[in-house]
């Protein structure tokens, strides 16, 4: 998955965050796991703007699939969970130091990200789907050729529209680039795309591309949208850790494997998405 561009003051904030990330040390062998075990706290980075994956409630608490997964991981490590919400580009830049221990944020393990992050385990797969205004007359994805399509900036969905997406993960179905947009418009978040599309068919956008669960959640909450066609690709989504702590990675891999095996991840997926997304094509 995912995301993001910055404007005005946000640009400065992101630059500061990236500068801090650049000087923060990478994890040393055993350091992150030792810190978690000693403090009995697992500090997890997440994005609260992507229901049903994660959202922040009015009382400041968090809810969603990623939130439940992170909470269960912490429980199995014998720790309590604490959530933090850094900018997405800061998370993917790596070199976290001790600012947080883990990202449970529906992150696609790309080769570029793997240069600074470790991806101990995939915990589910998200289908990516095009969506249009409910009044649109399109009947298939290929009809979006030459159209204005909105997408999150610096995310896998933008890569797909530009024809550059590469997913090198076992078990992921092959995919084709079915659309050649006339114009790609990038946004801070997927929900911003939906806000423009809800204004009407062709008013600002003709279509958008996002995670199917995110689109379904928006429709359920009242957005006048509809899904167009079948998913165009599936992306594996993994927990991410700062590069360099093999012991922490091994522990996380074991915990996620247990959660797959005992059905915990399947049940959480059904709770939040209404379907089991814990296997590719599921």
Which tops the pLDDT comparison, 201 or 172? Answer: 201
Report whether pLDDT(215) > 50: yes
CATH 3.40.190.10, the chain: domain bounds: 11-125+236-273, 126-235
| Predicted model pTM | 0.76
Report whether pLDDT(43) > 90: yes
Report whether pLDDT(76) > 90: yes
Please compute the mean of the pLDDT values over residues 48-65 and round it to a whole number: 92
Hunting for tokens 């990330």 — which residue is that? 21
Please compute the mean of the pLDDT values over residues 89-105 and round it to a whole number: 94
Strands 225-242, 117-133: pairing is antiparallel
132-176, pLDDT tens digit by residue?
999 999 999 999 999 999 999 888 899 999 999 988 777 788 899
Give the pLDDT score at 171: 72
DSSP-derived secondary structure letter, 204: S
Please compute the mean of the pLDDT values over residues 128-134 and round it to a whole number: 98
Bond preceding residue 52 cis, omega within 30 of 0: yes
d(CA 68, CA 129): 24
131 strand-pairing partners: 208, 227
Answer yes or no: are the C-beta atoms of 241 and 27 closer than 8 Å: yes
CATH-assigned architecture of domain 126-235: 3-Layer(aba) Sandwich (3.40)
Report whether pLDDT(282) > 80: no
Answer yes or no: are the C-beta atoms of 161 and 252 closer than 8 Å: no
d(CA 75, CA 118): 21
- The pLDDT-based confidence of 3 (bands split at 50, 70, 90) is very low
Give the pLDDT score at 18: 37
d(CA 149, CA 185): 6
CATH-assigned architecture of domain 11-125+236-273: 3-Layer(aba) Sandwich (3.40)
Mean pLDDT value across the chain: 88
Query: What separation, in Å, do the N-terminal and C-terminal C-alpha atoms of the chain show?
Result: 17
Hunting for tokens 């797959």 — which residue is that? 260
Give the pLDDT score at 20: 40
Q: How is residue 62 written in tokens? A: 């968090």
Give the pLDDT score at 1: 53
């Amino acid at each position: 998955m995912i995301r993001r561009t910055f404007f005005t003051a946000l640009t400065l904030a992101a630059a500061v965050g990236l500068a801090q990330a650049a000087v923060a040390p990478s994890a040393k062998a055993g350091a992150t796991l030792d810190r978690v075990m000693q403090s009995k706290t697992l500090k997890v980075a997440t994005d609260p703007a992507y229901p049903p994956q994660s959202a922040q409630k009015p009382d400041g608490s968090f809810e969603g699939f990623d939130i439940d997964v992170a909470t269960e991981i912490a429980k199995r490590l014998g720790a309590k969970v604490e959530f933090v919400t850094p900018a997405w580009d800061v998370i993917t830049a790596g070199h976290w130091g001790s600012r947080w221990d883990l990202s449970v944020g529906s992150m696609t393990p790309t080769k570029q990200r793997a240069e600074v992050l470790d991806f101990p385990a995939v915990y589910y797969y998200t289908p990516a789907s095009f969506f249009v205004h409910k009044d649109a007359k399109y009947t298939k994805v290929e009809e979006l050729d030459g159209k204005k399509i909105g997408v999150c900036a610096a995310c896998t969905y933008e890569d797909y529209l530009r024809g550059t997406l590469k997913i090198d993960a076992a078990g992921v179905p092959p995919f084709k680039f079915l659309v050649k947009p006339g114009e790609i418009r990038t946004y801070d978040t997927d929900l911003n795309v939906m806000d423009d599309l809800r204004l009407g068919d062709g008013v600002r956008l003709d279509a958008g591309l996002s995670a199917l669960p995110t689109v379904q959640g928006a429709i359920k909450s009242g957005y006048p949208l509809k899904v167009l066609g079948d998913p165009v690709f599936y992306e594996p989504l993994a927990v991410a850790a700062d590069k360099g702590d093999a012991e922490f990675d091994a522990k996380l891999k074991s915990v996620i494997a247990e959660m797959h095996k005992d059905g915990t991840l399947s049940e959480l997926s059904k709770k939040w998405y209404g379907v089991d997304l814990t296997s590719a094509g599921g």
